[in-house]
């Protein structure tokens, strides 16, 4: 039987960062970044075809004050479509500091300045941070 994985999504208006767990759901790792365009769901279908995904975590960007940010409506529509298209359980997770933590991780671990400027690196690592937090919270 194939082990079910958890996929984390850092939704952005230009790019979507993805991170996934290993088959035993112990370790998360940054997976990829896909463009948020007309081919977004084609890209997601490939990922869902390649991995057995049981749960999708979607970053929910609240402001520091706890208020909803302006992109929330888009994210809620996106989450609804994910549930419909892939028939999968979804959960929103607080992503307030995930991009900042991801940027710091990249600074510490990626020696090349040119590579550190790659914004897609931040997106998939922000998804990784959210997934790591989630796994820590359920242990």
CATH number at residue 14: 3.30.420.140
Query: Average pLDDT per run of 10 along the chain, which is 139 residues long?
Result: 88 94 93 95 96 94 74 93 96 78 70 66 86 89
Which residues lie across from 27 on neighbouring strands? none
pLDDT at 87: 95
Rounded CA-CA distance 24/32 in Å is: 20
Domain extent at residue 98? 5-138
Going by DSSP bridges, is the β-strand pair 5-11/89-94 parallel, antiparallel, or unpaired? Answer: unpaired
Global pTM value: 0.85
pLDDT at 106: 65
Structural domain count of the chain: 1
């Amino acid at each position: 039987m194939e082990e079910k994985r958890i996929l984390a999504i850092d939704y952005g208006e230009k790019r979507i960062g993805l991170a996934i767990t290993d088959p035993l759901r112990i370790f998360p790792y940054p997976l990829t970044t896909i463009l948020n365009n007309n081919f977004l769901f084609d890209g997601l279908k490939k990922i869902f075809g390649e991995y057995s995904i049981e749960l999708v975590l979607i970053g929910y960007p609240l402001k520091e004050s706890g208020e909803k940010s302006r992109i929330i409506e888009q994210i809620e529509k996106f989450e609804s479509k994910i549930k419909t298209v892939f028939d999968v359980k979804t959960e929103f997770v607080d992503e307030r500091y995930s991009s900042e933590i991801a940027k710091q991780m990249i600074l510490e671990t990626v020696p090349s300045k040119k590579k550190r400027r790659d914004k897609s690196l931040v997106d998939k690592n922000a998804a990784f941070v959210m997934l790591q937090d989630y796994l820590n919270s359920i242990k």
